[in-house]
Amino acid sequence: MIRTLVHLALAVPPFVLGLAWQRQALGVDPQKTLILESGIWTFNLLLLVLVLPPAARWAGWPQLLRYRRAIGLWVFAYATAHFTFFLSFYLGWDVARLAEEIAERPYVLLGFAAWLVLMLLATTSTRRAIRWLGRNWKRLHTGVYFVLAFASVHYLLMIRSEWAWPVSYAVIALMLLLLRLRRVMRPQS
Amino acid sequence: MNGIKTEVEAARLRLCGRSADLQATVCCHSVFGPKALRANSNRVKTINQLIFLATNGLFGRFQCFRGGSGLQFTPNPGSLGIIEYRFEEKLMTRVTDQSSFRRRRFIAGALGLGAFSAFSALRYGDSVSVANETDQDLTAKNDGDILLFEDTGARLTTKHAATHYNNAYEFGWDKTDPYQKSGAFELKPWQVTFDGLCAKPGTFDLDDLMGMPFSHLEERVYDFRCVEAWSMAIPYNGRSLRDILQVVEPLGSARYVAFTSVLRPEQMPGQASAFSTLDWPYVEALTIEEAMHPLTFATFGVYGDQTLPQNGMPFRVTVPWKYGFKSPKFVVRMTFTETRPKATWHLENPREYGWYSNVYPDISHPRWSQSTERRIWSEGEIERIPSRPYNGYANEVAHLYPGDRQQYR
């Protein structure tokens, strides 16, 4: 029941965007809007996934952690949409140009690297993969913090003059990273 | 998985069976870690009824024991996740203490608020229908395929697209800010001051600069090429800038012209923004040869319309062979200088925005590949086309740039 609600809520942004796209309500340059929105929503959900553990710990509320995998898979879906839009609208599915973009532009490199890590995490999130990887599963999935770091810098590199949004996201990301680091550093008694 | 479930079920039954003064400690590694868990178990001293539910999610080991002796089960490592424990309602207040209850409410509120504000940012559809109403007359005459030249198939970008997708950081960084936030901008009166190294400095009204009725001005269709690798074909109304510059008689020592845009933070929210790193007012500059080139266009209107601040009206300078930011909007001052004036974007980031900023498809920009551009024809109709040196005006202007092109990027 709650699980269905979670999935429904996470399907709202693509639904709204898809509907608006179909109704030609995404402005003069829908391609740019779609790339921007899919990127922002990837980041939103990424922050949500990572804010849940400290929140659950703080409030003594373990139920919050139940839907992490579901949200995590949505992060990957959003990121894939973002990457697909970039590939088709900006590069016209030209793989040679993708290689060139990755080599020349750090923000493309970071975005691509983040997507690769997300793909690895998504493919190892089945029950079977969890059992197979055992202890290493947790170690591997700590890689989501690399995704967070890549995404932050990726967004910071977008700044041309207005810095409010990218910097806000980066500050939140940094706080989450520090929380995590503090927890890792402190010896567990 | 199944085996564990059974064990938990058994535990539940046994605990329920002895409801009085049951002590329970829950240990669960990897969900909260031992530390957090211990804190929890300290809180949970006396329990009447304790129900364990095993749900999948995380993996790890858990143990449950009553006192020191009773229940204990250890599932296979790496197979299962969370233990959730619930208390009967009458014990809820005793067990879930006040502060953790408040914290849960806080978290729930924060998540709800976050979702609400994020979702409400997804308002698509309504703003456009409003725009359609007010701009019906504007879009009507240019919508559809208007062929400019039958033989080449060249056509215009619709007025709706060209007036609803603009860069004017004076109004904000978003492409829709210029038309959405320029309502308070006053177009009249408008004066332009000429100073610096010229024989007849002075201030002129816009009508004097036009020198003729607006309807008599020349209309030129230029390809407008933004540094962000999108482009439009736009009809501009105006006259060659050099006809105006010649009136104030630049001195022989004048090597550059600087164009200063208007500074009105009270009417231009982008100028008032605390989050913009741009240095206002906007300043752009050309060499005197560039400014005197017949293609450089003193612009008083677009699509025959003088009332579009988002396009830089009432007065801008259009330089079609350079990236769009080299065509300053809302110009109020032109200054003739001997030394190279600053230019706003160049100052902001010289690596990305060259001082000349001619369109060179083969010179890659750190942010956008410039080899192709996305030509915007109308709302949602976008075509990827190859970019051309000097934006297609190479025959007219290439002679201005002898030697290595890298220095004119």
Q: Are residues B286 and B359 part of one domain?
A: yes
pTM above 0.80, yes or no: no
**ipTM of the modeled complex:** 0.84
Task: Report which of B176, B66, B146, B114 is spatially closest to residue B381, judged by C-alpha positions.
Answer: B146
Residues of B with Cβ-Cβ distance to A68 under 8 angstroms: 57
Q: In the structure, what pLDDT confidence band is assigned to residue B58 with cuts at 50, 70 and 90?
A: very low
Q: How many domains does chain B divide into?
A: 2
Q: How far is B110 from chain A (nearest CA, A)?
A: 10
Q: What is the CATH number of the domain that holds B156?
A: 3.90.420.10
Does residue B120 form part of some domain?
no
For position B97, what pLDDT does the model report?
A: 63
What does the alpha-carbon distance between residue B361 and residue B369 come to, in Å, rounded to a whole number? 8
Cα angle value A12/B108/A6 (rounded, 5°): 30
Q: Is residue B320 part of a domain?
A: yes
Residue B29 has pLDDT above 60, yes or no: no
Same domain, B161 and B223: yes
Instruction: Mark whether B254 and B384 lie in a shared domain.
Output: yes
User: In angstroms, what CA-CA distances link A166 with A51, A154, A171, A172, B395?
Assistant: 18, 9, 9, 10, 42
- The answer to whether residue B224 sits within a structural domain is yes
List, in order, residues 6 or more apart from A66 with CB less than 8 Å away: A2, A3, B55, B57, B82
B253-285: per-residue pLDDT in tens?
A: 999 999 999 999 999 999 998 888 888 999 999
Total count of residues recorded for chain A: 189
Q: Which residue of A has its CA nearest to B31?
A: A62
Whether the CB-CB separation of B83 and B28 falls below 8 Å is answered with yes
Judge if B198 and B293 occupy the same domain.
yes
* Residue B125 belongs to a domain: no
Same domain flag for B14 and B152: no
Determine which of A50, A160, A167, A183 to mutate to test the interface with B (most B C-beta atoms within 10 Å). Answer: A160
Q: Are B302 and B360 in contact (CB under 8 A)?
A: no
Same domain? For B200 and B59 the reply is: no
Say whether both B295 and B254 belong to one domain. yes
Give residue B227's domain range: 137-408
Which chain A residues touch B374 with a CB distance below 8 Å?
A: 29, 31, 89-90
Clarify whether residues B212 and B331 are in a common domain: yes
In a domain, B57, yes or no: yes
Q: Three-class SS of residue A155?
A: helix
Token pair listed for A133: 């990887």
Where on the phi/psi map is residue A146: left (φ > 0), alpha (ψ -120 to 50), or beta?
Answer: alpha
- Distance in Å, alpha carbon of A103 to nearest chain B alpha carbon: 11
- pLDDT of the residue at B128: 45
Residue B228 shares a structural domain with residue B352:
yes
Residue B38: exposure state from Cβ atoms within 10 A (0-12, 13-18, ≥19): middle
Measure B100 CA to nearest chain A CA, in Å. Answer: 5
Q: Which of B34, B110, B124 sits opposite A16 (nearest CB)?
A: B124
**Which residue is closest to B30 within chain A, CA to CA?**
A138
Q: Identify whether residues B180 and B62 lie together within a single domain.
A: no
Q: Which residues of B touch A135 (CB under 8 A)?
A: 78
Query: Does residue B161 sit in the same domain as residue B195?
Result: yes
Is B131 domain-assigned?
A: no
3-state secondary structure at position B172: strand
Q: Do B40 and A17 touch (CB under 8 A)?
A: no
Q: What is the CA radius of gyration of chain B?
A: 34
Structure tokens at A111: 């975005």
User: Which residues of chain A lie closer than 8 angstroms to B169, CB-CB?
Assistant: 161-162
* Interchain pair A20, B124: CB under 8 A: yes
The one-letter amino acid at B169: Y
Nearest CA in chain A to B116: A9
Size of the A and B interface in Cβ pairs below 8 Å: 139
Tell me the sheet residues that pair with B193.
B203, B333
Select from B35, B57, B96 the Cβ nearest to the Cβ of A189. B35
Q: Is the pLDDT of residue B327 over 70?
A: yes
Based on the fold, state whether residues B289 and B182 are members of the same structural domain.
yes
- The two most distant CA atoms of chain A are separated, in Å, by 58
pLDDT for the residue numbered B153 = 65
Average pLDDT rounded to a whole number, residues B368-379? 90
Task: Tell me the pLDDT tens digit for each residue of B115-171.
Answer: 888 888 887 755 444 444 444 444 434 444 455 666 666 788 999 999 999 999 999
